[in-house]
Amino acid sequence: DGGITQSPKYLFRKEGQNVTLSCEQNLNHDAMYWYRQDPGQGLRLIYYSQIVNDFQKGDIAEGYSVSREKKESFPLTVTSAQKNPTAFYLCASSIEGNTEAFFGQGTRLTVV
């Protein structure tokens, strides 16, 4: 089955630790995105990538880092510099930037 997979679904970390969220797609999509969603809030763009080995900051990139070494993979690292990391993180991909986006199931990160 083609799709986009995020893992894990739930993640707990202690404050001060870095954590990496996985996002893999087998849709052969060029564009990939990371969004953050807080309770009752919309989707805020963290980082996006239009092509392998290239990515751009979104509106709330501070405290986050990404890599795009392979077309299929776009991992997101939440660093200790992120002040309020507890949130629902959604990864998405699309054929190109202005087309339909497919979302993963999301990772709910809780930092204690």
Partner 1 sequence: GQQVMQIPQYQHVQEGEDFTTYCNSSTTLSNIQWYKQRPGGHPVFLIQLVKSGEVKKQKRLTFQFGEAKKNSSLHITATQTTDVGTYFCAGPGGATNKLIFGTGTLLAVQP
Q: Which is nearer to partner 1, 22 or 102 (CB)?
A: 102
- C-alpha 16/C-alpha 14 separation (Å) is 6
Cβ distance to partner 1 smaller for residue 82 or 107: 107
Shortest spacing between CB 91 and partner 1, in angstroms: 9
* 7 is an interface residue for partner 1 by CB under 8 A: no
Q: Do residues 66 and 20 touch, judged by C-beta distance below 8 A?
A: no
Task: Of 23, 20, 37, 43, give the one whose Cα is nearest residue 86.
Answer: 37
Q: Where in 58-96 does DSSP place strands (E)?
A: 64-66, 76-78, 87-94
| Under rule CB under 8 A, residue 39 binds partner 1 | no
Looking at residues 50 to 69 of the shown chain, list those that interact with partner 1 (rule: CB under 8 A). 50, 56, 58-59
Range 76-87 burial, b when 16+ CB lie within 10 A, else e: bebeeebeebbb
Nearer to partner 1, 80 or 106 (CB): 106
Residue numbers at the binding site for partner 1 (CB under 8 A): 33, 35, 40-45, 48, 50, 56, 58-59, 90, 92, 94, 96-106
